[in-house]
Amino acid sequence: MKGLWVGGTALLVLLLLGDRAAFTARAADDPAVQAMSYIRPEAIRADRRFLADDLLEGRGAGTRGHEIGTSRTHSHS
Q: Residue 3 to residues 10, 11, 22: CA-CA distances in angstroms?
A: 10, 12, 28
pTM of the model: 0.46
Per the prediction, the chain carries an average pLDDT of: 75
Statement: residue 5 has pLDDT above 60:
no
CA 32, CA 38: separation in Å to the nearest integer? 10
Lowest average pLDDT, out of 4-18, 32-46, 55-69, goes to 4-18
* DSSP structure string for 34-68: HHHTT--HHHHHHHHHHHH-GGG----TTSHHHHH
